[in-house]
Amino acid sequence: MRIDWWTLALQTVNVLILIWILARFFFRPVADIVAKRQSEANSLLSEAASTRNAADEARAAADKMRTDIRAEQDRLIAEARTAAQSEKQQVLAQASEDIAKLRGEMEATIARDREAAERAVIARATELAVQIAQRLLGRFPPALSLAVFLDGLCQELRALPSEARESFMTATADQPVEVATVALLSNEQVEQVRRGLKEAFDADIPLTFRVEPDLIAGIELHSRGMIVRNSWRADLDRIREELNRVNDLKES
């Protein structure tokens, strides 16, 4: 057998050039985008933590005010004891009534302020997350954006237990699996999705496509009894749930 060394050398150079092109124009930009998304998410969580700290400080000030009210209660009771015996019961009853009313009003105010602060934290965090998501989305080429989210969705589908996969595998032409995307897909993108899902399920399943702008970015799969999400809306929902969980832990 005779080896053509020139041909082998040229093929080697072609392979090296192809590897260099992929590393420079595909893998590295995707890695940079993912890293930047993680950094901005961390910044968002840090800002949310700062806002929660401000709410804690406000709660501490309210607790001090409640302590001052209790001190005022003791002072009123002490003064009542020096009053005439005939007026003692009346003064104590009136003082207790006023203090109870004032305490109730202050506690109600504190509860309202704390609730408003927590809602403001969640609303601000969600607003910032949406802004970050929109900025990041603007940097994604549409074809690359779909490919990245479709790849993540297919990975989740492969990791599903058999019962969950069965929910998609049993879809029929009358009740197909719904594919939700932010914008209307081109014919080429539709075929890209079909190929990806066929590989993930190792079978053809009936699909129908619909537009859902609230996803912000990404793709979701809906069957009769199962939803698999890989979208920024799902990420924001998870952030909101985490903030609510943290607030619930602080209250308990």
Give residue limits of the domains in the chain. Answer: 5-139, 142-231
Q: How confident is the model at residue 72 (pLDDT cuts 50, 70, 90)?
A: confident
Between 25 and 96, residue with greater pLDDT: 96
Residue 209 has what pLDDT? 93
Residue 178: is its pLDDT beyond 60? Answer: yes
Residue 169 has what pLDDT? 85
Average pLDDT over residues 121-125: 68
List, as one string, the DSSP characters of 186-236.
Answer: PHHHHHHHHHHHHHHHTS---EEEEE-GGGSSEEEEE-SS-EEEEEHHHHH
Mean of the per-residue pLDDT values for the chain?
Answer: 77
Tell me if 209 sits within 8 A of 181, measured CB to CB.
yes
What CATH number belongs to 142-231? 3.30.360
Residue 221 Cα distances to 91, 156, 184, 195, 210, angstroms: 70, 11, 15, 14, 10
